[in-house]
Amino acid sequence: MQTTYPDATTESINAALQEAHIAFLSYKNFSNKKKAEFLSAIADEIEALDQILVSTAMRETNLPEARIVNERGRTTGHCRMFATLVEEGSWVEARVDTALPNRMPAPKPDIRKMLVPIGPVVVFGAANFPLAYSTAGGDTISALAAGCPVIVKAHPAHPETSGLVAVAIKKAIEKCGLPGGVFQHLYGVGFQVGQSLVKHPLTKAVGFTGSLAGGKALFDLANQRPEPIPVFAEMSSINPVILLPESLSRNFEKTAASLAASITLGVGQFCTNPGLILAVEGTGLVKFMEFLGNEIQKAMPGTMLHQGIADNYAKKLAQALAQKGVTIEGQSSATGTTAQGKPLVASVLAESFIKNPTLAEEVFGPFSLIVKCKSLDELNTVANRMQGQLTASVFGEEGEISNCSSLMNVLVEKAGRLIINGVPTGVEVCPSMQHGGPFPATTDSRFSAVGTDAIRRFSRPVAFQNFPDSLLPDELKESNPLAIWRLYNGVWNKK
Amino acid sequence: MQTTYPDATTESINAALQEAHIAFLSYKNFSNKKKAEFLSAIADEIEALDQILVSTAMRETNLPEARIVNERGRTTGHCRMFATLVEEGSWVEARVDTALPNRMPAPKPDIRKMLVPIGPVVVFGAANFPLAYSTAGGDTISALAAGCPVIVKAHPAHPETSGLVAVAIKKAIEKCGLPGGVFQHLYGVGFQVGQSLVKHPLTKAVGFTGSLAGGKALFDLANQRPEPIPVFAEMSSINPVILLPESLSRNFEKTAASLAASITLGVGQFCTNPGLILAVEGTGLVKFMEFLGNEIQKAMPGTMLHQGIADNYAKKLAQALAQKGVTIEGQSSATGTTAQGKPLVASVLAESFIKNPTLAEEVFGPFSLIVKCKSLDELNTVANRMQGQLTASVFGEEGEISNCSSLMNVLVEKAGRLIINGVPTGVEVCPSMQHGGPFPATTDSRFSAVGTDAIRRFSRPVAFQNFPDSLLPDELKESNPLAIWRLYNGVWNKK
């Protein structure tokens, strides 16, 4: 097993992109069936790694076995989900408008449109999902499904895990007889490798999950290129949870228990961790805070993904607690080590929160801040001033939510996913999932990083006008040989 | 009639965005039927302007009556097309995944997703389409259809026409009882107004059609905001036309005639004007150039949209002709004035073209450059090095196109619309149209500025998790009260 991971050189980066570009020109034309076989083969090869993958990932990330096994299931799950999607074929959103040669004043030509892959994609593995958002993560697999070659820059926190998965993908490439440039894997600890990959003229899109600073830097770099390219960066979200008074006064205990579990899940290292709780002052809130404080006190510190994340948590937590008006409402009674994240919840008055933007910054780890509002009006004001989020949750009775229409109206503008009576952690992988919200949650709220629609990020539409049938892609041929859903002269059908 | 058009002040810009934001929070929730009524009413009010609109537009743009009447039809046509689209409702791409409460290891929640409007949109009217891409143009109407308020900055070249259309839209707003902030109209001759509009924190997207310099400046400005926003700028394209040898040797006369018409149409002031012709040297090409030269010689100069465009054409044309190896193959025999664009075609050897990027710059007007290639291989090399384009056309026999698979494979990467045996001018407004290509043709090749899919530019998906049916938008309610197409548990239906 490789134990050192030297940074990719300028030459190897250039060679990788050249190879990816050449592979692209053939890979994009492989049949849907072939691409589906490849994606399924990746799942098979990841499973074949068996216990070595689990133990390596555990060692490199400090995550427990159950979590890694679960995450492996999620990874092979999305490989097979995209295999099914690609084999079925309707994802290309085919539209057909047939000619009207006798139309006046001018004839209407035959035009047909479909999505095509965008080109070589650079993916930055995420630290917090060493399998599901790393080497064979959602970005990589959705890009491969779209027909784009992928170059992964391994996350430095789990190089060996990343390397194992890369070998699995390479085996799948061989098994399916695909060009080697369809998937490549590079190492790079500093910024240099990532920057060179994003700046390379043959790179056509970027996938990233990580910090706001990192994602924004890549976004800026990509936009400053002679040819700007899209960057899909999932960055920073504090996932506000709003507790409405009527429900809170009845369900404070249950709500506190589910939020405590969500805050501490995976040592708080989820992009959907509930970092902000908004509620109106009253006995319901007092009891809720007491219960939540107790739950957090009982929670154990956990070893974080790597020392950098633990240090950052300690620093950001200290910064939050040092702000004016912030009171600790409960913290883990165990001491913990410097490598561990210690669960903690604090509170602050809404008027202080509104004045102090530092309090709205993400504290990546098992922390949440309760914002105590004097009234629903003040809660609305806080919601109105929030930045973009991945999610927003509302705990409330159906009737009282219905009475908060202006609040709900604003939340739609603030988040990519709204949840009623549920915590934000737990991101379902399905067609209706939206994992992406207004900036700074992501760089592009129009796309999702999770679920089948993630494939759209790596595609663009092309129209074919006046093409003889034999020269059209199968998706657009008159007889619809792939039997996909198409908008044919304005009517959806599979004919 | 207003005769001076003072620039909008900082205060009026801020007031406009505040009003747009407030209007957004109610307009987005108006029913599909109401929005459709509004879009139809805009068409009615534009028609009610009758001859005054036609004569004003003719006077301000120097375009002939037939063209303005035709363009008015196109404008009211897209108003009614989007009215139909919005009333039908399926454009929101609803996805429904129902709950599986007993799923192991964790229950699956109910999740439903649809597109929602992105917020207030700033639209820059285009000079070359005073109706169809200006005040009530494709950007404005698709944004209003999505549920976004629009602020139009009138194009300084046709302020009176823009003002007339703005009044028509305001009348439609009154007729339908919508908030006034749904549509606002500002003037601004310098850069200041446009910059302030793009930088305003309440602006959520920008539509622009114009020069590369202008579009790129807005794109950069939007990306440098604290919260970056999407800019849909349609900028620069030379729309390469490739003439394959077999077809050319048979059809040189017909091909020359249709290209001459396309080059000179509207004094060449179309974004899809064929500015580049690629062909292999031989007798077919010699005869083609002779015929094309003759056609262009017979063509008359035409008064351009405004003096700035005429001056720019003269300057860019002189620059192109001054490049090494460029030979004039034909030019209008008429003298013309400095306000007119004089049709001209020139030629250059591929080896000179490849070396000189100046020759690939757009010359906005009735000009086209023929690139003479020694072989199909050299033609492939030229195609490979082209920048992104709105369109690419291939004139060829079915068999010879079929033999050029590597050329076709590359063209898909270079353009948003591929045309066989047809000129690029004439952009059909329909679901399968793609008007948008890789940079620098547009800033975002993933979206179209023409056709029903243009609505997508101004929307983003939002997922609703675990919502009681009564709190869901109608599009996502279990009974599907709007009877729209939905992906329901992975199956498309209208149930």
Q: Per-10-residue mean pLDDT for chain A, 495 residues long?
A: 83 98 97 98 98 98 96 97 98 98 93 98 95 97 98 97 98 98 95 96 97 96 98 96 97 98 96 97 98 98 96 98 98 96 98 97 97 98 97 97 96 98 95 96 96 97 98 98 96 92
**Residue A314, both tokens:** 């300690």
Please name the residue of chain B whose CA is at the shortest distance from the CA of residue A409: B25
pLDDT at B104: 87
pLDDT at B72: 98
Q: Are residues B158 and B282 in the same domain?
A: no
Instruction: Name which of A106, A398, A419 is nearest B468 (Cβ-Cβ).
Output: A398
> Which active-site residues of A does the annotation give?
234, 271
Backbone angles phi, psi at B142, to 5 degrees: -70, -35
Q: Give chain B's mean pLDDT.
A: 97
Asked if residue A429 lies in contact with residue A78, where contact means CB atoms within 8 angstroms, the answer is yes
The residue assigned the tokens 């807005």 is B218
Asked if residue B142 lies in contact with residue B447, where contact means CB atoms within 8 angstroms, the answer is no
Q: Are residues B264 and B348 in the same domain?
A: yes
pLDDT at position B358 over 90: yes
Task: List CB contacts (< 8 A) between A443 and chain B.
Answer: 228
Over pLDDT 70: what percentage of chain B? 99
Instruction: Name which of A230, A410, A421 is nearest B466 (Cβ-Cβ).
Output: A421
B433: in domain: no
pLDDT at A266: 95
pLDDT digits (tens, 9 = 90+) for A87-117: 999 999 999 999 999 998 889 999 999 999 9
- Coil, helix or strand at residue B22: helix
Distance CA A490, CA B205 (A): 28
Taking the Cβ of residue A486 and every Cβ of chain B, the question of whether any pair is shorter than 8 Å is answered with no
Distance CA A84, CA B193 (A): 50
CATH number at residue B307: 3.40.309.10
Nearest residue to A90 (alpha-carbon basis) of B490, B417, B431:
B490
Asked if residue B215 lies in contact with residue B234, where contact means CB atoms within 8 angstroms, the answer is yes
Q: How far is A1 from chain B (nearest CA, A)?
A: 34
Distance CA A313, CA A359 (A): 14
CATH number at residue B190: 3.40.605.10
The alpha helices in B177-282, defined as continuous H runs, are 191-199, 212-223, 245-264
Taking the Cβ of residue A493 and every Cβ of chain B, the question of whether any pair is shorter than 8 Å is answered with no
Nearest residue to B137 (alpha-carbon basis) of B186, B189, B191, B71:
B71
Quote the pTM value. 0.97
Distance CA A346, CA B258 (A): 73
Instruction: Name which of A108, A446, A464 is nearest B418 (Cβ-Cβ).
Output: A464
How far lies A294's CA from each of A290, A332, B87, B141, B318, in Å? 6, 9, 53, 55, 79
Asked if residue B380 lies in contact with residue B370, where contact means CB atoms within 8 angstroms, the answer is no
A437: in domain: no
Distance CA B204, CA A394 (A): 25
pLDDT at B274: 98
Distance CA A337, CA A325 (A): 28
Instruction: Name which of B118, B219, B471 is nearest A398 (Cβ-Cβ).
Output: B471
pLDDT at A105: 83
Please name the residue of chain B whose CA is at the shortest distance from the CA of residue A448: B461
What type of residue sits at position A118? I
Q: Are residues B180 and B273 in the same domain?
A: no
A492: in domain: no
Q: Are residues B403 and B471 in the same domain?
A: no
Domain boundary among B368, B385, B420: B420
**B95 DSSP β-pair partners:** B113, B487
The residue assigned the tokens 């801040």 is A369
Query: How many contacts does A have with B, using Cβ atoms within 8 A?
Result: 195
| Sheet with A205-209: strands ordered across | A183-186, A150-153, A121-124, A205-209, A231-234
The DSSP element (H or E) to which B56 belongs, if any, is helix B32-61
Instruction: Name which of A111, A116, A408 is nearest B433 (Cβ-Cβ).
Output: A111
Asked if residue B35 lies in contact with residue B172, where contact means CB atoms within 8 angstroms, the answer is no
Structural domain of residue A107, as residue ranges?
A: 10-235+446-487
pLDDT at position B313 over 80: yes
Nearest residue to B454 (alpha-carbon basis) of B176, B86, B11, B129:
B86
Backbone angles phi, psi at A387, to 5 degrees: -80, 175
A1: in domain: no
B246 belongs to the catalytic site: no
Q: Are residues B227 and B248 in the same domain?
A: no
ipTM of the complex in this document: 0.97
pLDDT digits (tens, 9 = 90+) for B371-397: 999 999 999 999 999 999 999 999 999
Backbone angles phi, psi at A273, to 5 degrees: -60, 135
B210: in domain: yes
What residues 421-440 of chain B have any CB closer than 8 A to a CB of chain A? 421-422, 426, 428, 430-434, 436, 438-440
pLDDT at B190: 81
A5: in domain: no
Task: List CB contacts (< 8 A) between A108 and chain B.
Answer: 428, 430
Beta strand A486-488 pairing with A94-97 = parallel
Interface contact A111-B445, CB threshold 8 A? no
Q: How far is B258 from chain A (nearest CA, A)?
A: 14
Interface contact B408-A443, CB threshold 8 A? no
Q: How far is B253 from chain A (nearest CA, A)?
A: 20
pLDDT digits (tens, 9 = 90+) for B396-419: 999 999 999 999 999 999 999 999
User: How many CB atoms sit inside 10 A of residue B406's CB?
Assistant: 14
Taking the Cβ of residue B212 and every Cβ of chain A, the question of whether any pair is shorter than 8 Å is answered with no
Q: Are residues B228 and B245 in the same domain?
A: no
Looking from the CA of B28 toward its CB, the CA atoms found within 13 Å total: 24
Asked if residue A120 lies in contact with residue A24, where contact means CB atoms within 8 angstroms, the answer is yes
Task: List CB contacts (< 8 A) between A30 and chain B.
Answer: none
- Coil, helix or strand at residue B167: helix
pLDDT at position B1 over 60: no
Q: Are residues B192 and B319 in the same domain?
A: no
pLDDT at A224: 97
Domain boundary among A402, A420, A438: A420
Q: Are residues B161 and B20 in the same domain?
A: yes
What type of residue sits at position A101? P
pLDDT at A4: 84
Task: List CB contacts (< 8 A) between A220 and chain B.
Answer: 223
Give the contacts of B118 (CB within 8 A, at least 6 positions apart): A445, A446, B146, B148, B204, B205, B230, B458, B459, B460
B90: in domain: yes
pLDDT at position B2 over 70: no
What type of residue sits at position A289? M
Distance CA B7, CA B4 (A): 10
Q: Are residues B142 and B259 in the same domain?
A: no
The DSSP element (H or E) to which B345 belongs, if any, is strand B344-349
B193: in domain: yes
Q: Are residues B228 and B93 in the same domain?
A: yes
Q: Are residues B110 and B160 in the same domain?
A: yes
Q: Are residues B301 and B373 in the same domain?
A: yes
Looking from the CA of B295 toward its CB, the CA atoms found within 13 Å total: 24
Taking the Cβ of residue B492 and every Cβ of chain A, the question of whether any pair is shorter than 8 Å is answered with yes
Q: How far is A303 from chain B (nearest CA, A)?
A: 24
Distance CA B409, CA B386 (A): 14
pLDDT at B105: 83
Domain boundary among B376, B405, B420: B420
Interface contact B96-A409, CB threshold 8 A? no
What residues 228-267 of chain B have any CB closer than 8 A to a CB of chain A? 228, 230
Q: Mark residue B111 as left, alpha or beta (left: phi above 0; alpha: psi -120 to 50; beta: remaining).
A: beta
Q: How many domains does chain A have?
A: 2
Taking the Cβ of residue B374 and every Cβ of chain A, the question of whether any pair is shorter than 8 Å is answered with no
